[in-house]
């Protein structure tokens, strides 16, 4: 019997059976990137984790509307509502219009997502695309007495909210600690309470990204966009909200407060948070010089890297641990991942070539059949256990052993029977390609192979084996390559 | 002496010297796609034409801010401000949320642009991302007495505008003809005048994409977004505005009226319009069943296509005619383009291998040098003449003749001298790769080459040429491929 999908809910802090609010539909919102710098590997891990969740939910037959936003305004350099807009600051440093910064890093983000074969979400809304909706939400909060305007800015009144609701229920923070713990910073005095957070900020002189509002010219607070865009596209209450664990507080806590305060409803049924990356056991950070960009990984061009690692090697590597565990980058682990990845891909190619054969006198072995059934059930069981890709991969290697046995003739198709044979092949392919999203990475420099062939050609020519010379020439011509016999060497060109 | 860049200005109807408003900066705005269906080849031609203009301006040293919008709301199925929103309609048909439609076709559009190696613009703003700015522009027009509100919608008053300005100056339409010529349609009676156009439309029941405004819930008119986004990112007056010639009226005419009406300034210095695609001499259209999608071209999977044509073949093909001429698709023309493209790419590979050599007794030939200078000047002259890629390509083939002569030894490096040799090579590479944007398309199925090698391997094994067997095995291993000697055949796998 197939097991049921369970999800660890960061809100309830227990693993719960997954029950979609409105099956077969599932609404999932994930906090996307703030597009002011190159995407780093920690981001990649987060989006890869939700890519797996998206793929697996679709595999289970759910119709998933997956919303992942682009933060292109309002995210300040300082979490306590001070500092500069991250994008505005970068625009100043790079001497570009803020929207050029947004475009540049959004393009970079999309490219990296593509390299890792991370699927596009169903909707990718941007904060600047929803200013009016954000203003409407602020108006609702003001109406409900949960926000106050002061000096052209609007703040959320955390104490007032906490009278009827529970601010801190996601992150476990205690409001009294929050109030005591906040640093005293310029501009904080506008707030009634140090735990309050900005819904709308007045634009100071020189601020570029700004819009008119009922409270004057300004820009929305960072937490607002996600409340607005998630509920606009998924409804007041939706199934899944995800993000990196660093977003739990204050960002996600504030999202809940804003939605509950405006709509009176808890916005999210299941909260999912992904864990961090470490490098050789240390937190990945720019100041420790142990953080690298995807491009550096692919080129191997970084002092901590022994060699280049391909996107699919890194994808496989990340899937070898559960999303809620920390994941440690090391050369040894990546080299092992490269081997594991190639094993699975070679397995796909065996699946592709393998034909079912059975001799007349064969009858299926119940033991073999039940072994295959058991491994397949284990694959699902692992994924159903909060999307445990690490255990799923181990089970796929068990499936692969069976496939290899058939390929080498140790096990015959007839011993499994057609139905089990097909199930074995299809399950393996589906898990590797569709659920884990692993693609075959082909060598792109066909020239290396061509050069070996041209050497064989030259040798045959020297040995006056003209039949062979002609054959290679003809075969290459069929591939659009013309061999060019030159004075001192053998060249080639594309056929014109 | 180098010639100066001239641009045919659709507004003045003459070829003018290009003088940037604020050199070295150039602002260029191009009307992007309405993302409700697959991008068609006519769109590709338009965006390719502006890609060339963008690349060439950058090559000349201009710092170009290139804005190309995404229309994700407000474009109605009927040009006279009636009918359904194109995206809303598609959302209904495909049973998706409108923003899912937007995401789906925006992704598709980006993929096609990438396939054709069309560069990303500097900013890619969307209409829904600028609702507030659109509302502000309408307010200005109302203040200036050039618009009127009626029943929750706002219209531009063309007659009023025409008292002081010239509505029709871009398209050459006469306002009296326009008023007489418009069909009588439902809802038109809201307008004072049949030539008036919508700035804001009241959302009727069931309309999904809508926002609050001073005039009630509704959505912006289609022409508004381009006025707003071009001036927001490029200033009230900017250098270049482009689009397909079908957009000249009403879209671009209305853009001018909106900007002049609101800001009192003509928004655009140079208007550039690209011409249409025809197929075997007929207009490309769905109803004639002679329109095809990029994917159909690449696969050859269409009754009108003899074979597949690669993206770079099509790119080369399109560049063989001037953007302002019609361009006729035919199998013969595409096959010729495939040859021409490969000639240029083979030329690149010769450039890559060619080293400058000169014997001691050689002195440069002034005649050869001046021939090279002349061809290079011709290349620039052709591009400077309103971006005439057709003539540029002809000149590149002349450059290639020189390169081939050096490669075959008919012409020596010494006859040109180092400086002219370098100039020849660099100019050819720069024009092919950077200005025309032609990439080398590599055969991706390295397996075809590998299979020929494996046959050579099998033959060597049969003939007991074990040295050769070992060598091929070793060479392939270095490329990450393991040869597998199986009972009945030779297989291969990625090295694990």
- pLDDT tens for B333-362 read 999 999 999 999 999 999 999 999 988 888
Token representation of residue B66: 């290139």
Give the residue on A whose Cα is nearest the Cα of B441: A494
CB contact under 8 A, A345 and B131: no
Tell me the three state secondary structure of residue B58: helix
CB contact under 8 A, B472 and A452: yes
Tell me the three state secondary structure of residue A196: coil
Distance CA A484, CA A496 (A): 13
The strand pair at A197-202 and B490-494 is best described as: unpaired
Burial class (CB in 10 A: 0-12, 13-18, 19+), A37: middle
Token representation of residue A347: 């397995």
Instruction: Name chain A contacts of B442, Cβ cutoff 8 Å.
Output: 444-447
CB contact under 8 A, B479 and A449: yes
Residue A186 has pLDDT above 70, yes or no: no
Instruction: Name chain A contacts of B99, Cβ cutoff 8 Å.
Output: 123, 125, 233
How much is the average pLDDT of A189-198? Answer: 89
Judged by average pLDDT, the poorest of A131-135, A205-209, B105-109, B468-472 is: A205-209
Element containing residue A223 per DSSP (H, E): helix A222-234
Residue B186 pLDDT grade (very low, low, confident, very high; cuts 50, 70, 90): very low
Cβ–Cβ under 8 Å, residues B65 and B27: yes
Per residue in A354-404, pLDDT (tens digit) is 999 988 888 999 999 999 999 999 999 999 999 999 999 999 999 999 999
Residue B7 has pLDDT above 60, yes or no: yes
Give the residue on B whose Cα is nearest the Cα of A65: B100
Residue A461 pLDDT grade (very low, low, confident, very high; cuts 50, 70, 90): very high
How much is the average pLDDT of B279-298? Answer: 84
CATH superfamily ID and name for A6-274: HUPs (3.40.50.620)
Per residue in B16-61, pLDDT (tens digit) is 999 999 999 999 999 999 999 999 898 999 999 999 999 999 999 9
Cβ–Cβ under 8 Å, residues A103 and A67: no
Among partner residues B120, B125, B442, which is closest to A446 by beta-carbon distance? B442
Give the residue on B whose Cα is nearest the Cα of A459: B468
If you search the block for the tokens 């500069």, which residue do you land on? A84
Among partner residues A65, A121, A126, which is closest to B97 by beta-carbon distance? A65
Give the residue on A whose Cα is nearest the Cα of B496: A339
Give the residue on B whose Cα is nearest the Cα of A348: B493
Predicted local distance difference test score (pLDDT) of residue B1: 44
Predicted local distance difference test score (pLDDT) of residue A415: 95
Cβ–Cβ under 8 Å, residues B41 and B109: no
Per residue in A83-124, pLDDT (tens digit) is 788 888 888 888 889 999 999 999 999 999 999 999 999 999
Model ipTM? Answer: 0.91
Per residue in B79-91, pLDDT (tens digit) is 667 778 888 888 8
The residue extents of the domains of chain A are 6-274, 301-435, 446-494
Instruction: Name chain A contacts of B230, Cβ cutoff 8 Å.
Output: none
Residue environment code for A436-473, b if the CB has 16+ CB neighbours within 10 A, otherwise e: bbbeebebeebebbbebbbebbbebbeeeeeebbebbe
CB contact under 8 A, A121 and B103: yes
CB contact under 8 A, B449 and A444: no
Predicted local distance difference test score (pLDDT) of residue B189: 73
How much is the average pLDDT of B273-280? Answer: 92
Among partner residues A97, A120, A452, which is closest to B103 by beta-carbon distance? A120
Q: What is the DSSP string of B358-373?
A: --TT----HHHHHHHH
Among partner residues B132, B449, B476, which is closest to A450 by beta-carbon distance? B449
Residues 6+ apart with CB under 8 A from B303: B289
B269: nearest Cα among B293, B237, B309: B237
Residue B179 has pLDDT above 90, yes or no: no
Distance CA B320, CA B388 (A): 9
Instruction: Name chain B contacts of A495, Cβ cutoff 8 Å.
Output: 342
Of chain B, the percentage scoring pLDDT greater than 90 comes to: 81
Peptide bond into B38 cis (omega under 30): no
HSE-CB at A412 with a 13 A cutoff on CA atoms is: 11
Q: A374 to chain B nearest CA, in Å?
A: 27
Q: What is the pTM of this model?
A: 0.94
Pairs of residues, one from chain A and one from chain B, whose beta carbons lie less than 8 Å apart: 118
CB contact under 8 A, B346 and A494: yes
Judged by average pLDDT, the poorest of A248-262, A345-359, B9-23, B280-294 is: B280-294
The CATH code belonging to domain A301-435 is: 1.20.120.640
Residue A181 has pLDDT above 80, yes or no: no
How much is the average pLDDT of B301-312? Answer: 94
Per residue in B97-144, pLDDT (tens digit) is 999 999 999 999 999 999 999 999 999 999 999 999 999 999 999 999
Sign of the CA dihedral running A292, A297, A301, A302? positive
Q: A12 to chain B nearest CA, in Å?
A: 31
How much is the average pLDDT of B435-464? Answer: 93
Integer-rounded Cα radius of gyration of chain A:
28
Tell me the three state secondary structure of residue B477: helix
CB contact under 8 A, A136 and B212: yes
A379: nearest Cα among A325, A436, A334: A436
- A6-274 and A301-435 share one fold: no
Q: How far is CA A391 from CA A3, A260, B48, in A?
A: 15, 37, 48
Burial class (CB in 10 A: 0-12, 13-18, 19+), B201: buried
Give the residue on B whose Cα is nearest the Cα of A345: B494
Residue A1 pLDDT grade (very low, low, confident, very high; cuts 50, 70, 90): very low
Predicted local distance difference test score (pLDDT) of residue B182: 58
Which DSSP category does A70 fall into?
A: B
**pLDDT, mean over chain B:** 93
Question: When comparing pLDDT for A83 and B1, which is higher?
Answer: A83
Predicted local distance difference test score (pLDDT) of residue B69: 97
Instruction: Name chain A contacts of B343, Cβ cutoff 8 Å.
Output: 496
Of chain A, the percentage scoring pLDDT greater than 70 comes to: 97
Among partner residues B128, B342, B476, which is closest to A495 by beta-carbon distance? B342
How far is C-alpha A393 from the chain's CA centre?
A: 18
CATH of B279-435, one of 2.40.37.10, 3.30.420.40, 1.20.120.80, 1.10.730.10: 1.10.730.10
How much is the average pLDDT of B405-433? Answer: 96
Residues 6+ apart with CB under 8 A from A430: A59
Predicted local distance difference test score (pLDDT) of residue B180: 72
Instruction: Name chain A contacts of B475, Cβ cutoff 8 Å.
Output: 452
Distance CA A10, CA A245 (A): 10
B382-387 contacts at long range (C-beta below 8 A, 24 or more positions apart): B383/B5, B383/B56, B383/B435, B384/B2, B384/B3, B384/B4, B384/B5, B384/B6, B385/B3, B385/B6, B385/B15, B386/B6, B386/B7, B386/B8, B386/B15, B386/B322, B386/B324, B387/B7, B387/B49, B387/B52, B387/B53, B387/B56, B387/B322, B387/B323
Which residue in A120, A449, A454 has the most chain B C-beta atoms within 10 A of its own C-beta, making it the best mutation to test that interface? A449
Predicted local distance difference test score (pLDDT) of residue B119: 98
Instruction: Name chain A contacts of B121, Cβ cutoff 8 Å.
Output: 103
């Amino acid at each position: 019997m197939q097991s049921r999908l369970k999800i660890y809910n960061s809100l309830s802090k227990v693993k719960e059976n997954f029950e979609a609010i409105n099956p077969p539909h599932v609404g999932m919102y994930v906090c996307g990137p703030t597009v002011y710098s190159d995407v780093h590997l920690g981001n990649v891990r987060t989006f890869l984790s939700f890519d797996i969740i998206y793929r697996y939910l679709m595999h289970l037959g759910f119709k998933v509307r997956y919303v992942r936003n682009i933060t292109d305004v309002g995210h300040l350099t300082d979490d306590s509502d001070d500092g500069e807009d991250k994008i505005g600051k970068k625009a100043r440093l790079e001497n570009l219009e803020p929207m050029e910064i947004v475009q540049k890093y959004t393009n970079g983000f999309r490219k990296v997502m593509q390299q890792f074969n991370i699927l596009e979400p169903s909707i990718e809304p941007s904060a600047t695309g929803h200013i009016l909706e954000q203003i409407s939400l602020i108006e609702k909060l003001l109406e409900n007495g949960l926000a106050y305007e002061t000096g052209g800015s609007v703040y959320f009144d955390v104490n007032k909210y906490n009278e009827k609701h529970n601010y801190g229920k996601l992150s476990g923070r205690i409001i009294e600690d929050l109030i005591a713990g906040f640093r005293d910073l310029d501009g904080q005095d506008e707030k009634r309470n140090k735990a309050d957070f900005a819904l709308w900020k007045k634009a100071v002189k020189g601020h570029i990204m700004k819009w008119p509002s009922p409270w004057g010219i300004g820009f929305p607070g960072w937490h607002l966009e996600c409340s607005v865009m998630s509920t606009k596209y998924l409804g007041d209450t939706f199934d899944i909200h995800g993000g990196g664990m660093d977003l739990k507080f204050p960002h996600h806590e504030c999202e809940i407060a804003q939605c509950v305060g405006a709509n009176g409803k808890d916005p999210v049924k299941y909260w999912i948070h992904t864990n961090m990356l470490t490098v050789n056991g240390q937190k990945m950070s720019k100041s420790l010089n142990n953080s690298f960009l995807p491009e550096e990984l692919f080129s191997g061009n970084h002092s901590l890297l022994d060699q280049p690692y391909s996107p699919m090697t890194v994808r496989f590597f990340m899937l070898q641990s559960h999303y809620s565990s920390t994941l440690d980058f090391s050369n040894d682990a990546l080299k092992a991942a490269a081997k594991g990845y190639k094993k699975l891909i070679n397995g796909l190619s065996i699946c592709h070539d393998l034909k079912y054969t059975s001799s007349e006198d064969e009858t299926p072995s119940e033991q073999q059949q039940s072994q295959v059934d058991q491994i397949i059930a284990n694959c699902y069981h692992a994924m159903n256990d909060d999307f445990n890709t690490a255990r799923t991969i181990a089970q796929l290697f068990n499936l692969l052993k069976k496939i290899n046995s058939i390929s080498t003739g140790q096990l015959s198709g007839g011993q499994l029977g057609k139905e089990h044979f097909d199930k074995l092949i299809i399950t393996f392919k589906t898990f590797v390609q569709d659920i884990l999203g692993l693609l075959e990475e082909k060598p792109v420099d066909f020239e290396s192979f061509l050069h070996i062939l041209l050497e064989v050609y030259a040798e045959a020519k020297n040995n006056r084996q003209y039949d062979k010379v002609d054959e290679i020439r003809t075969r290459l011509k069929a591939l659009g390559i013309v061999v060019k016999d030159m004075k001192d060497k053998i060249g080639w060109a594309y056929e014109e």
